[in-house]
């Protein structure tokens, strides 16, 4: 009886430690633009920092490599160094919005995103893709092609596609900055919770 109890007391902590070790190995690299870079506010007020704070006790680390104004060209150029420097387990690609706002060819930024997916997979990094949306500045045809490109990329490359991160705030002017493109400080906790719900099942499975 004593021996059996002793084994249980040893095994349970080991199992707990194993779970903690598994969680500790989750490192998410966010390769994004101003929507993830806390544009117009302090870095710690942005959704990425808020989400990292909520995961402090869960052993999930977020590396925020988002830069305001970033395009898929810039993201692709930076990615090899970021992968080497941070060695993430997961990569979230939140790019394409600035390409679309500038009217860049859809095939061009699709090729860039596919190249990023290939680079990450070469390092055994799990890739997640964020769907992006843009206003109809360049007409409905271009906008539809832009929107559809993310579904096409996700299907062709077999990567999870996350909904547009401003899905629950973009149509509320009280949650947007004056430019109507960037979310304000009040929107950040809502975005963080939205992203937590989207990311947790993908990071912990």
Catalytic, 182? Answer yes
Backbone phi, psi, residue 42, to 5°: -70, 150
Where is 18: in which H helix or E strand?
helix 2-24
Catalytic, 151? Answer no
Catalytic, 49? Answer no
CA neighbor of 128 nearest in space, from 154, 109, 151, 108 = 154
Active site residue: 57, 124, 158, 179, which one? 179
Active site residue: 3, 18, 34, 73, which one? 34
CA neighbor of 132 nearest in space, from 166, 176, 172 = 166
Dist. CA 65–CA 186, nearest whole Å: 22
Length of the chain: 205
Active site residue: 36, 99, 149, 182, which one? 182
Over its C-alpha atoms, the chain yields an Rg (Å, rounded) of: 19
- The residues carrying an active-site annotation are 34, 179, 182
């Amino acid at each position: 009886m004593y021996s059996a109890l002793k084994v249980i007391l040893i095994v349970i902590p080991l199992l707990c430690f194993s779970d903690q070790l598994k969680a500790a190995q989750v490192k998410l690299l966010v390769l994004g633009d101003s929507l993830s870079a806390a544009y117009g506010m302090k870095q710690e007020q942005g959704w990425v920092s808020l989400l990292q704070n909520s995961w402090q006790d869960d052993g999930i680390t977020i590396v925020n490599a988002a830069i305001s104004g970033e395009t898929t060209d810039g993201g692709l150029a930076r990615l090899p160094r970021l992968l080497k420097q941070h060695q993430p387990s997961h990569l979230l690609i939140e790019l394409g919005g600035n390409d679309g706002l500038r009217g860049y060819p859809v095939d061009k930024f699709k090729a860039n995103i596919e190249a990023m997916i290939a680079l990450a997979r070469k390092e055994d990094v799990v890739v997640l893709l964020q769907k992006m949306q843009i206003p109809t500045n360049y007409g409905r045809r271009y906008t539809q092609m832009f929107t559809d490109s993310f579904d096409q990329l996700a299907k062709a490359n077999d990567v999870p596609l996350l909904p547009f991160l401003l899905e629950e705030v973009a149509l509320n002017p009280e949650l947007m900055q004056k430019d109507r493109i960037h979310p304000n400080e009040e929107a950040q906790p809502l975005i963080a919770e939205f992203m937590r719900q989207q990311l947790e099942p993908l990071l912990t499975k």
